[in-house]
Structure 1
Amino acid sequence: MEPGSGPGPGPGQGPGRWAATACVVTGASRGFGRSLARLLAPQLGPGSVLLLLARSAEALAELATELRSGTTGNDTGSDTGSEPELRVQYVAADLGCEEGLRRASAALRELLQDASFGRLLLVNNAGSLGDVSKSFLDLTDLEEINSYFSFNVSSALCLTSTALRAFGARPGCSRTVVNISSLCALEPFPSWALYCCGKAAREMLFRVLALEEPGLRVLSYAPVSRAAPPASGNGDSCGSCPLDTDMQLLARSRTADPGLRQQFQRLKEKGQLIECSVSAQKLLRLLQDDSFPSGAHVDFYDI
């Protein structure tokens, strides 16, 4: 499938609303996933469904109510007058355990059996940092390690496979899979062995998917900067400017490596962390333009 092909206005055809789209966002209850869901909702036109997945039922219910009301518009605070024709559903599930993954997979199969959808957009955003207070040599607990990879790698593989099999290769329909990646998929960070390995493994999974399924559009988007411009007036370079999230709070307070921990603390003090809504806007633009090579890694500052 060529970039931009598929029914109706949507990716590759400008900023028009995407009709008859099944849109799934994991890790939607907070941070980047929540910001992205708020931006995607006004883009989804008649016949569309937005399915939100995360652990917190309370946070998902609050977000779903907000999106159904259409009063928040996008994440910049403006009111777009979103129409109530968008159906918003949510499933609270811990994707790191078998029961939670089964619940989420069942919800995907039930949703995607609807033959009226002309487009599938799956955003694999759910992820965790792991215990960054531990160095490589501290990682000796097999249960801890397996649990980390079950949530951060295995669940993304299983959910994506389930969604694509349920949706199928429908003639004239488009399918886009997004992996929320990181600079850590490409470069090592001290005391972040699990996170770097998880992100690298996940990115390779989606590169393989792009090769095996040329009819898909596959994107790994890193929502933070690989090489941010120097801070004004002091000549310092960030090297990596993370999102301003709860995960970043954990990183700057718990990271075992003192140099990395202090770097994150300085970024916060200097106001150089990136707002989730700013990065989510860039991903939305990528999806609208739909000009990326399938399987590509695209960084915040590449756009």
Structure 2
Amino acid sequence: MTHDIAIVTGAGRGFGLALTAALAARGTTVLATGRDADRLRAATADLAGVLAVPGDVTDPDHRAELVAAAERLGGLDLLVHNAGELGPSPLPPLAALPLDALRAVHETTVVAALGLTQLALPLLRAAAAPAIVTLSSDAAVEAYAGWGGYGCAKAALDHLAAVLAVEEPGVRVYAVDPGDMRTAMHQRAFPGEDISDRPEPRTAVPAFLRLLDERPPGGRYRAADLRAVTS
């Protein structure tokens, strides 16, 4: 189905931008947010139906600004939690992970996502077919050396989505693992390495759109599985 109004966090580049462009092409009005105002505005300038609302999702005032903007537009049908934080690069083992860095990863990935969700829920509950999508990762379920900080934040976000789906039965809540992608964050995880063999972020978009169109039960999904079914 087509969602009329959406909020997408981390929309200035990578997967967030690819999904924003795809939603806009389907007629959705997208409130796109990201920390780098110049990059966000430049990336979305030519996308009809996309409104750039730059800011940091860890800022409560910015979260309130996003929801207020959606309310002025008439409501909210879709909330996409794409913003995340990798942590230090190169990725350190847990024995050397600075605790302040771990807090920052969780603040962006988990705490800010819940904070925005709490503010957005009244609008979502009033929508005809509301959905929340959180960006997951295989690092949330697999034990990769160096990925402990990022992985435990994604695991927490997965569980948050699972519980929210139980508590809010009128809202479809999906955690989706897009798989490896050729993004700036992924490059930071592998400094100095060639990651050109990873697929472009846009290749994961159809799997996300399929969830929104078909609305299966809430839960955790892998983009690779969704693509395999449709190929």
TM-score (normalised: structure 2): 0.89
Give runs of aligned pairs for residues 248-287 of structure 1, distance below 5 A.
Answer: 248-253=186-191, 265=193, 268=195, 271=197, 273-287=198-212
Q: Which residue of 1 aligns with 2:182?
A: 244
Alpha-carbon distance between aligned partners in 2 of 1:144 and 1:222, rounded to the nearest angstrom: 23
Alpha-carbon distance between aligned partners in 1 of 2:146 and 2:208, rounded to the nearest angstrom: 29
Does residue 194 (structure 1) correspond to residue 149 (structure 2)? The answer is: yes
* Native 8 Å contact 2:12 2:33 kept in 1: yes
Q: Which residue of 2 aligns with 1:134?
A: 92
Give runs of aligned pairs for residues 143-162 of structure 1, distance below 5 A.
Answer: 143-162=100-119
Structure 2 CA distance for partners of 1:33 and 1:110, relative to 1, 3 Å: closer
Q: Which residue of 1 aligns with 2:229?
A: none
- Count of matched residue pairs: 225
Structure 2 counterpart SS, 1:89? strand
Larger Rg: 1
Structure 2 counterpart SS, 1:112? helix
Shift of residue 113, structure 1, vs aligned partner: 5.3
Shift of residue 148, structure 1, vs aligned partner: 2.0
* Native 8 Å contact 2:125 2:171 kept in 1: no
Alpha-carbon distance between aligned partners in 2 of 1:142 and 1:245, rounded to the nearest angstrom: 25
Alpha-carbon distance between aligned partners in 1 of 2:121 and 2:53, rounded to the nearest angstrom: 19
Q: Which residue of 2 aligns with 1:76?
A: none
Alpha-carbon distance between aligned partners in 2 of 1:109 and 1:58, rounded to the nearest angstrom: 22
Shift of residue 24, structure 1, vs aligned partner: 0.6
Q: Which residue of 2 aligns with 1:174?
A: 129
* Native 8 Å contact 1:109 1:163 kept in 2: no
Which of 68, 75, 79 is equivalent to 1:122?
Answer: 79
Give runs of aligned pairs for residues 1-303 of structure 1, distance below 5 A.
Answer: 10=1, 18=2, 21-44=4-27, 49-68=29-48, 86=49, 88-96=50-58, 100-112=59-71, 116-117=74-75, 120-131=77-88, 132-139=90-97, 141-165=98-122, 167=123, 169-170=125-126, 173-224=128-179, 242-253=180-191, 265=193, 268=195, 271=197, 273-290=198-215, 292-294=216-218, 296-303=219-226
Letter in 2 for 1:244: R
Structure 1 counterpart SS, 2:66? helix
Structure 2 CA distance for partners of 1:64 and 1:133, relative to 1, 3 Å: closer
TM-score (normalised: structure 1): 0.69
Q: Which structure: greater helix fraction?
A: 2
Question: CA offsets, 1:156-209, max 9 Å, x none?
Answer: 0101111113x0532x71210000101111111111111110000001001000
Structure 2 CA distance for partners of 1:111 and 1:300, relative to 1, 3 Å: closer
Shift of residue 106, structure 1, vs aligned partner: 2.3
Question: CA offsets, 1:18-53, max 9 Å, x none?
Answer: 36x221100000000011111110112xxx531001
Structure 2 counterpart SS, 1:29? coil
Structure 2 counterpart SS, 1:200? helix
Letter in 2 for 1:282: A
Overall identity of the aligned pairs, in %:
30
Unaligned runs of 5+ in 1: 1-9, 11-17, 69-85, 225-241, 255-264
Letter in 1 for 2:34: A
Shift of residue 223, structure 1, vs aligned partner: 0.5
Alpha-carbon distance between aligned partners in 2 of 1:193 and 1:277, rounded to the nearest angstrom: 27
